[in-house]
Amino acid sequence: MKSKSERYRIRLSRLAAAVVLFFICTTRSSWEINNYENITTILFFIGVILLGVAALGRLWCSLYIAGYKTHHLIMEGPYSACRNPLYFFSAIGLMGVGFATETFSFPIAFIIIFSLYYPFVIRSEENRLQQVHGDSFYEYKKKVPSFIPRFKAFSEPENYSVKPVLFRKHVFDAVWFIWIIGIIEILEELKDIGFLPSLWCIY
């Protein structure tokens, strides 16, 4: 069962996603309108690469935490290089979504929002882990950075027990980063034919 703070975070994230979707639906890239094709191609390509990294990274993390989150202290695989790899890859994914819109404004805005909000989420979750795991988590914190991975400390087991049913539920959270590319392209086509309004043009 999700905690009260986690349910609140999920609702807030969904609200934020709805607001972002509204602006993506009603905004055009000034680079595209002014026919800067080289710039739009590069921005979109960067977005695709970042979204691919984010999807694979989140799948990798989910493999380790599916069915074990909170109740077990995971310190292997991506969690041996970073205490919050899911959020690290989510940040990469948000940047990818931003660049896929072929603008600089969206990725900058997303990172600012992420930087303002998610440190509180991370702190809250780590406080809970500290309460559950005590000295084990304290020692883990001393060895492994919170957000930026340090791969010098990376380690992974030769074998790892996975719970397929729970892992399957985590897959959707990862692959939507790939689907968003298609969604953004569909929205662009709808704007081109005039089905969606273009209320703002941004760089």
Q: Give the three-state DSSP class for 169.
A: helix
73-92 b/e (C-beta count within 10 Å ≥ 16 → b): ebbebbbbbbbbbbbbbbbb
Please report, for residues 10, 93, 121, 166, 173, the alpha-carbon distance to residue 6 in angstroms, rounded to integers and kept in the order given: 6, 20, 9, 18, 15
- Quote the strand ranges of 9-111, DSSP E: 27-29
Q: What is the pTM of this model?
A: 0.88
Structure tokens given for 69: 């989150």
Q: What is the reported pLDDT for 65?
A: 85
Q: How far apart are CA 63 and CA 68, in angstroms?
A: 10
pLDDT interval class at 80 (50, 70, 90): very high
**What are the pLDDT digits (tens) for 32-56?**
888 888 999 999 999 999 999 999 9
| pLDDT (mean) for 140-169 | 85
Q: Which residues pair with 155 in a beta bridge?
A: 77
75 CB contacts (<8 Å, ≥6 apart)?
A: 140, 144
Domains of the chain from N-terminus onward = 49-202 (1.20.120)
pLDDT band at 67 (very low <50, low <70, confident <90, very high): low
State mean pLDDT over 7-22.
Answer: 78
Determine the average pLDDT of the residues in 128-145.
Answer: 89
* Best-predicted range by mean pLDDT (81-90, 128-137, 194-203): 81-90
